[in-house]
Chain A
Amino acid sequence: MSYITVKDLEVGYDKSVIAQKLNFEITSGEYLCIVGENGSGKSTLMKTLLGLLKPIGGQIIFGDDLQANEIGYLPQQTIVQKDFPASVKEIVLSGCQARCGLRPFYNKEEKALAKTNMERMGILDMADRCYRELSGGQQQRVLLARALCATRKVLLLDEPVAGLDPAVTADMYDLIESLNKEGITIIMISHDIAAAARYADHILHIGDDVFYGTKKDYEESDMGRYFLSGKKGGGSDD
């Protein structure tokens, strides 16, 4: 059985359907990339998978011992109020909140986990710095470290490289790939179809037509060829 099975899912806000006929499954260790135009409902799908929105139709089935709250999540944008006083350490640690349930304070293990993940993301030396004084790339790493504290199994990343410069973007992709190699299942939303084609095993394309399949099938489909060649400056040739 797979981690998440999605059947005939319709997602949207307040009964107005934004994306429909979604059928796909996510198995352990896989790297799924979700692509589609602006406003096609990618973030909406992600929020539905996380249980922040109710599905309008269809179903999402969690299997393989995956609890709905065992998914780490990197939001598309975190609108942190301008003056929010929060240190990197505090934010990363807050990723452990699901682990401690009703226990009021974080225990040693959770603090160690936060430290490990900060190390993994290369932000340990910023642990005491103020989050909103970091650069965009550094902030993404902080939120990724937080997401890693929340899961050992599945990471949902909503445009993790938006707004990052090419070098940092490449770093970010490498980081995500290495996490995937460590066995964490990755579900990533991206506009960067070239990158999607490079790293993902499976691709879900949402829009007027929905495509779901392996990367190879996508490259051979009409839809895939069209998007891979035209839109994003072509990146399929490597």
Chain B
Amino acid sequence: MIETLMIYLDHTFVRYAIIVGVLIALSSSLLGVTLVLKRFSFIGDGLSHVAFGAMAIASVLNLTNKMTLILPITIICAVLLLRTGQNTRIKGDAAIAMISVGALAFGYLLMNLFSTSSNLTGDVCSTLFGSMSILTLTRWEVWLCMILSVIVVAVFVIFYNKIFAVTFDENFAKAVGTKADVYNLLIAVVIAVIIVLAMNLVGSLLISALVIFPALSAMRMFKNFLSVTIFSAILSVICAFSGIIISMLTGTPVGSTIVAVDVFAFLICSLIGLIKGVGK
């Protein structure tokens, strides 16, 4: 087993994949709590479908650097969804559902009509579930992923206190002069970036799991925002790392293995939380 692993690790692209995977897991876990607590979780889910649609367009256009197209489209949609969500309250959710399902259908249609690939089902499957895409990233995409992850982490740390304030009590934040709308926009854009990043790791259908499970797990164990944030980041990194290693050893798809590990960690955390709760 160890030997197989060593052979794998000899390849630079595998090492890259691990580094990128861990960085993506780190950045995607950070906004998990905010996403769970605000109605942004809808947006997150909707956006992952938009990203799928964008991915379909990118593959039809045969772009080498697909992310150059996917990233802007997803960010624009994030901003638009936030706008509609604010203006029309309930209709916002409908808009999200429409855009996301529409993007999904449209994306599949596009791939079906124009794809030159001989293995269409395989392509679609890997976009949805991520299969081995992290190992097939171009060098340029690897760098982009790294840079974006670092930016996401930096933005989160710098605006940590504001994000907490806006998530906890938006009205109070506004009343004391915090530009809550600006920070909501920032959160939406960061979420869009995270989704595009995470799509490389786990595919578009499993993104929410990657974003939300570590946060939910941490919320079982801790009761203040800082501990929850730190713990979910650590947990996410551990799960992603072990998920990638396991998938290499056993040949399972990377994305679903990581998510499976996340689910497993969630169960353990729930159990610990339960025992802690009972013991009190």
Contact = CB atoms under 8 A, between A and B. Distances in A.
A104 B161 contact: yes
Interface in B1-59: 33, 36-37
Given A97-B176, A97-B178, A105-B161, A85 B168 contact: no
Contacts of B168: 80, 84, 86, 91, 94
Interface stretch (A66-74, A164-172, A181-189): A66-74
Contacts of A87: 223-225
**B interface SS class:** helix
Nearest to A103: B161
A90 B226 contact: yes
B114 interface: no
B143 interface: no
Given A52-B171, A104-B158, A106-B161, A83 B219 contact: yes
Nearest to A129: B223
A85 B174 CA distance: 21
B278 to A, nearest CB: 15
B231 to A, nearest CB: 10
A12 interface: no
A85 B34 CA distance: 11
A44 B169 CA distance: 17
Contacts of A80: 168-169
A80 B226 CA distance: 17
B172 interface: yes
B160 A104 contact: yes
Contact of A52 (B36, B174, B218): B174
A105 B171 CA distance: 21
B140 interface: no
Contacts of A72: 176
A75 interface: yes
Contacts of A52: 171, 174-175
B219 A75 contact: no
Contacts of B173: 94, 97
A215 to B, nearest CB: 27
A80 B33 CA distance: 14
B224 A98 contact: no
A78 B161 CA distance: 19
B177 interface: yes
Interface in B155-173: 157-162, 164-165, 168-169, 171-173
B195 to A, nearest CB: 22
A115 interface: no
B64 to A, nearest CB: 38
Nearest to B229: A85
A121 B218 CA distance: 30
A90 B169 CA distance: 12
Nearest to A84: B37
Central interface residue in A50, A90, A94, A128, by most chain B CB within 10 Å: A94
Interface string A53-79: 000000000000001110111010010
Interface in B44-93: none
B186 to A, nearest CB: 13
A146 interface: yes
A233 interface: no
B108 interface: no
Contact of B176 (A47, A98, A104, A130): A98
B188 interface: no
B169 A78 contact: yes
A84 B225 CA distance: 8
Contact of B172 (A68, A73, A128): A73
Given A81-B37, A85-B33, A98 B177 contact: yes
Contacts of B33: 85
B106 interface: no
A97 B165 contact: yes
B164 A146 contact: no
A95 interface: yes
Contacts of B36: 83
A102 B77 CA distance: 27
A129 B169 CA distance: 18
B228 interface: yes
B24 to A, nearest CB: 24
A150 interface: yes
Given A83-B219, A104-B159, 14 more contacts: A52-B175, A73-B171, A83-B36, A84-B37, A85-B223, A85-B228, A86-B225, A87-B223, A94-B169, A94-B172, A97-B161, A97-B176, A98-B177, A100-B161
